[in-house]
Chain A
Amino acid sequence: MSADGVAGCGLRLRTGLAKAVLSEVARLLERLSDAGETGAVDLHSLPMTDGDRAELEERLGRGEIEATLSVAGVSRVWETRYAGVWWVRHFGSDERIAAEEIAITHVPQILVAHPADIRAAASALRDDLATQPPQGASEESRHVGP
């Protein structure tokens, strides 16, 4: 298993699967560009060897954005060197990959805050403000001004 929790079959053999996935990604990226349709390739169900996975990561590379999420275990999301092509890797709590996909989209859905969570957050913030005891001027504000 690699440091990033990738449990392959231990073979460095390259079967050509990475190239097939890249062709699929290219087709989906054109569709996103031309018609605005999003798509995804599920990597977890493909019988990839460690060599295939390494080849795919190498060919797609890393782009400008990387994010780590702490939600029901860790998730890592990064944009590849191709804009609109994202690698989304979900881990269970034991740092093993539970789900993994290449998402072809403007922003992966997992990064977007859900309206229900936003509503709950707004309510929670209001409650926090209402229940906080009145405070005097902070230490910093006493040093501000002439």
Chain B
Amino acid sequence: MSDRETLGAALARCGISRRALLKYSSYLATLMALPPAASSAMAEALAKARRQSVIWLSFQECTGCTESLTRSFSPTLEDLIFNLISLDYHHTLMAVSGAAAEAARLEAMKENAGKYLVVVDGSVPLGDDGAYSTIAGITNRQMLTETVEHALAVISVGTCAAFGGLPHADPNPTGAVPVSAIVTGKPVINISGCPPLPEAMAGTVSYILSFGKLPELDHLHRPKAFFGDSIHDRCYRRPFYERGMFAKSFDDDGARNGWCLYELGCKGPVTYNSCATLKWNGGTSFPIQSGHGCLGCSEPGFWDKGGFYRPLAAGTGSPGVAVGAAAIGGVAVGAASAALHRRRLHDQGGEKPK
């Protein structure tokens, strides 16, 4: 596919009809909670757009984010994203290696100056002058700074790139920092999660391509379309929460019958992501549906919040801070958790406490 050709013409040449593009746009509109009518406009805009150059940098990471995107569930539909982008550099997926790979990165930067997107997975280690992770003889920090200089925007995929993630967890031996600690003067979009939902990654790139602008972001720079609601807001177990019906152990009758997992440490009320609606493994399930509470993996510092099996009412900050056992019980629990979360948002410069 020539990069000068419009996507509509290129797809037609491959035998992909406009109907397919409309179906893809309907799918994206659904993912991004856009008005259903937006899908037609999106399909038209995509048909007129040109392929988006993407440079993908992998730093201190586990490749789970790439696995998430490439093993997305509906190949004929979701693979359309790979027709819309030109993935010019990606360690794991590109055929070439060594000097040829680095040459591809530099060439893409030169040819698409001001227009390419940089996707980063993994945190950036700054300890010991960045010696903990180097590529092609330069530190991750050097590669990131050099690559983003003429980028349109930067997308941090996964909690490591967005917030530091697991490498950043106490005691943070490598001095890991998120991408936003280094990149200044460029828009940075965070698509957190460990791993992030593939739909959130594909949807965000397609949105930029369709509308020529960044999607609306929350106070942590995450697309509101995917991070606007808490897991709890959209959880099918919520009706039981409202009735004060809580599972007491992972294998009791309540757990099996869909009762709320709040008392078993579920972090759904303070975690913003779309797992409850988009689900995982082809829409099969998500952790809560499989009987385990949400770990809160798309939130900053989730690894250091005091234990996956401690109820939110026991506090998620330093040990000893507790809202109080009296809060356990239906609506009172919700009020305590919500107050705790609003306080945290306020501390992070977000929503003010009410």
Contacts and interface: CB of A to CB of B under 8 A. Distances in A.
Interface of A: 1, 7, 9-11, 13, 15, 38-42, 44-47, 49, 69, 71-73, 75, 88, 90-94, 96-101, 103, 109-110, 113-114, 116-117, 120
23 contacts: A7-B279, A7-B283, A7-B285, A10-B289, A13-B258, A40-B35, A45-B277, A71-B17, A71-B23, A72-B20, A73-B76, A90-B77, A93-B74, A93-B76, A98-B77, A98-B78, A99-B29, A101-B30, A103-B36, A109-B39, A114-B22, A117-B17, A117-B18
Contacts, number: 121
A97 B279 CA distance: 12
Given A40-B37, A114-B18, A9 B74 contact: no
Interface string B77-101: 1101000000000000000000000
A55 to B, nearest CB: 15
Contact of A72 (B24, B30, B33, B283): B24
B276 interface: yes
Contacts of B284: 1, 7, 96
Given A72-B16, A93-B75, A110-B19, 5 more contacts: A10-B289, A42-B29, A46-B277, A73-B76, A99-B26
Interface of B: 8, 12, 16-20, 22-24, 26-27, 29-30, 33, 35-37, 39-40, 47, 73-78, 80, 234-236, 238-239, 258, 276-277, 279, 282-285, 289
Tell me the interface secondary structure of chain B in the complex: helix
Contact of B47 (A94, A109, A116): A116
A41 to B, nearest CB: 8
Nearest to A115: B18
A110 B27 contact: no
B236 A9 contact: yes
A38 B40 CA distance: 13
A75 B26 CA distance: 12
A110 B24 CA distance: 11
B19 A117 contact: yes
